[in-house]
């Protein structure tokens, strides 16, 4: 066991920052980051070409609009306790009236994908995750 490994309380971790769509890395497992983030408002349409993206809603509501290859859009509505995996190569756009999420993503995965549509809103942090303070 890693001598530096300590449990992370997600409630306390979420209380330590207020930025939305600016994930904090709470753990690493193999080549994956476990990230948490506050959610509010619209994210940006984006795609991760080579990786699935796992979401667990910790609080509130989190919607994920999905766009298929023909341009048809559907929205998955997630509430506290719900999980959903966006398959690799699927264009998606998260949005939320307010909440918090946990994600599993390969280390180094940018929050705005391999490519995104349009300008990145000021409230969306294009990052590969920040260390938890």
CATH number of the domain within which 84 lies: 2.60.120.10
Mean of per-residue pLDDT scores for the chain? 94
Task: Determine, yes or no, domain membership for 80.
Answer: yes
Residue 123 belongs to a domain: no
User: In the chain, helix, strand, coil percent, each to 5?
Assistant: 5, 50, 45
Share of the chain above pLDDT 90, in %: 86
Q: Provide the domain count of the chain.
A: 1
Is 90 exceeded by the pLDDT of residue 91?
yes
pLDDT at 113 over 70: yes
pLDDT of residue 44: 95
Query: Of the candidates 104, 103, 110, which has an alpha carbon nearest to the alpha carbon of residue 48?
Result: 110
Domain range for 78 is: 19-108
Q: What is the pTM of this model?
A: 0.92
Q: At 54, is the pLDDT very low, low, confident or very high (cuts 50, 70, 90)?
A: very high
> Is 51 inside a domain boundary?
yes
pLDDT of residue 133: 81
**b vs e for 43-60, b when ≥16 Cβ sit within 10 Å of the residue's Cβ?**
bbbbbbeebebbbbbbbb
Residue 50 lies in a domain: yes
Give 20's DSSP letter. B
Residue that the structure tokens 């990786």 belong to: 51
Cβ-contact 103, 32 below 8 angstroms: no
Q: Is residue 102 part of a domain?
A: yes
Whether 126 maps to a domain, the answer reads no
Q: Would you say residue 100 lies in a domain? A: yes
User: Does residue 128 lie within any of the structural domains?
Assistant: no
Can you give the pLDDT at residue 4?
64
At 65-86, the pLDDT tens digits run: 999 989 999 999 999 999 999 9
**Residue 6's pLDDT band (boundaries 50, 70, 90)?**
confident
10-50 pLDDT, tens digit per residue, is 999 999 999 999 999 999 999 999 999 999 999 999 999 99
């Amino acid at each position: 066991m890693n001598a530096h490994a300590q449990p992370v309380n997600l409630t306390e971790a979420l209380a330590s920052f207020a930025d939305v769509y600016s994930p904090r890395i709470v753990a690493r497992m193999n080549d994956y980051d476990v990230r948490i983030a506050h959610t509010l408002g619209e994210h940006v349409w984006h795609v991760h070409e080579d990786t699935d993206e796992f979401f667990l809603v910790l609080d509130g509501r989190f919607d994920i609009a999905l766009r298929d290859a023909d341009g048809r859009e559907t929205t998955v509505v997630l509430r506290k306790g719900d999980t959903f995996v966006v398959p690799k190569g699927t264009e998606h756009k998260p949005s939320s009236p307010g909440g918090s999420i946990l994600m599993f993503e390969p280390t180094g995965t940018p929050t705005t994908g391999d490519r995104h549509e349009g300008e990145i809103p000021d409230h969306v942090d294009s990052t590969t995750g920040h260390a938890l303070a």
